[in-house]
Amino acid sequence: MSEETENIYINNIDELFKDKRYRDVFEILYLLFKSKLNIIMKGKKSEFQEIILSLYRRDITLWKKFIVYVDLREKGRVLEDGPFESSLLLLTSKEGEPYAVIYIVSENEEIYPSKIFEILRFSRKNSKELFLAIIDKYGDITYYNLSESNVF
């Protein structure tokens, strides 16, 4: 039994953010990447690369977030865009509450301790776990669970 590919008809890229059928733009990108969704912009089918480039111009952390989103989605996790630049939220289920923040960095990217502490404070205040996702030059991802006890 094959799944039918759904079409989204838009006039401009901003309309992707307004479509309430999907959790967020990462879900749309994932379905587009998996060929389960077509985006028809101004009557023409848009390719995945074209959409990614348009969105990347708005958010330079988009590609990192998308790589982690795909990795965890393939493992059955439910995610949505996070409260910080370069972050995602991990949810208990599709309708569930976020239970963790995933902060994403590339292996050669500088990580400022003040940013880690800011995210740790946010996580603690909101009763969320904090994971650090590090993407290496090959696109492999390593996840670390951070808490105040293992950072201090």
Q: Among the listed ranges 17-26, 50-59, 65-74, 83-92, which one has the minimum average pLDDT value?
A: 17-26
Q: Are 133 and 142 in contact (CB under 8 A)?
A: yes
Percent of the chain with pLDDT over 90: 68
- Dist. CA 12–CA 53, nearest whole Å: 14
Residues 145 and 126 in one domain: yes
pLDDT higher than threshold 60 for residue 151: no
pLDDT higher than threshold 90 for residue 80: yes
Q: 6 by DSSP, 3-state: which? A: strand
Give the domain-ending residue among 30, 56, 82: 56
Q: 113 by DSSP, 3-state: which? A: helix
Structural domain of residue 40, as residue ranges? 6-56
Evaluate whether residue 1 is within a structural domain: no
Q: Among the listed ranges 6-10, 62-66, 130-134, which one has the minimum average pLDDT value?
A: 6-10
Residues 26 and 79 in one domain: no
- Dist. CA 33–CA 35, nearest whole Å: 5
Q: Which two tokens stand for residue 91?
A: 């949810």
Q: Model confidence over 90-137: pLDDT tens digits?
A: 999 888 899 999 999 999 999 888 999 999 999 999 999 999 999 999
Residues 49 and 94 in one domain: no
pLDDT higher than threshold 90 for residue 144: yes
Count how many domains the chain has. 2
